[in-house]
Amino acid sequence: MKIMVIQGPNLNMLGVREQHIYGPVKLEQIHGQMKEFATQNNAEIDFFQSNLEGEIVDKIQECYGAVDGIIINPAAYTHTSIAIRDAIAAVGIATIEVHISNIHRREEFRKTNMIAAVCASSIVGFGPFGYHLAMIGLMQVISEVKAAQEAQATQE
Ligand code: DQA
């Protein structure tokens, strides 16, 4: 099982930026814990962070045919990016969206979400633990997709 983790703009500043909202944990620490959990579950995992919308679109496209699932925190692009939404829809890979903060309890503009409708699920407001929850959820979704594909193949 292969998983790609995609982190959007300013998430490289975790541990520094608005600690009262995002907490003190750095992105490398989150990724370290995810790597450990993936290894324990025989999953391969890769990490990508970019502050640029087009680079995130390129990375999602690269996932086509290469990974089984995506965990994405599109950060501010969540609220604006039809391009990222279309890329997720285009590749058709099981995707879980994560937000460290509870975007529904913040400013009005954060209630607009371009991404959620093309994801299997969204996890918001659990802090960095949300990434762990996303991994558990994604592994379950990938297993279900694979089981359905195998059932389909035996029928053909
Ligand atoms: C965020 C929420 C977004 O609204 C914000 O722009 C971010 C981080 C989160 O993880 O809570 O950069 O995606």
Which is the closest atom of ligand 1 to the Cα of 98?
10
Q: Which domain holds residue 83?
A: 2-155
Per residue in 66-106, pLDDT (tens digit) is 999 999 999 999 999 999 999 999 999 999 999 999 999 99
* Contact status, residue 97 vs residue 123, Cβ threshold 8 Å: yes
Which atom from ligand 1 is nearest to the alpha carbon of 124? 11
Q: Is the CB of 71 under 6 A from ligand 1?
A: no
Q: Write the CATH number for 98.
A: 3.40.50.9100
Tell me, using a 6 A CB cutoff, whether residue 80 lines ligand 1: no
Respond yes or no: is residue 22 known to be catalytic. yes
CA distances from 84 to 62, 72, 130, 153 (A): 13, 10, 21, 31
- The answer to whether the pTM exceeds 0.95 is yes
101-131 pLDDT, tens digit each: 999 999 999 999 999 999 999 999 999 999 9
CB atoms within 10 A of CB 22: 18
The reply to whether 131 belongs to the active site is: no
Best mutation site among 6, 21, 78, 110 for ligand 1 pocket (most ligand atoms within 8 Å of CB) = 78
The structural domain count of the chain equals: 1
Instruction: Compute the distance between CA of residue 124 and CA of residue 133 in angstroms, rounded to an integer.
Output: 10
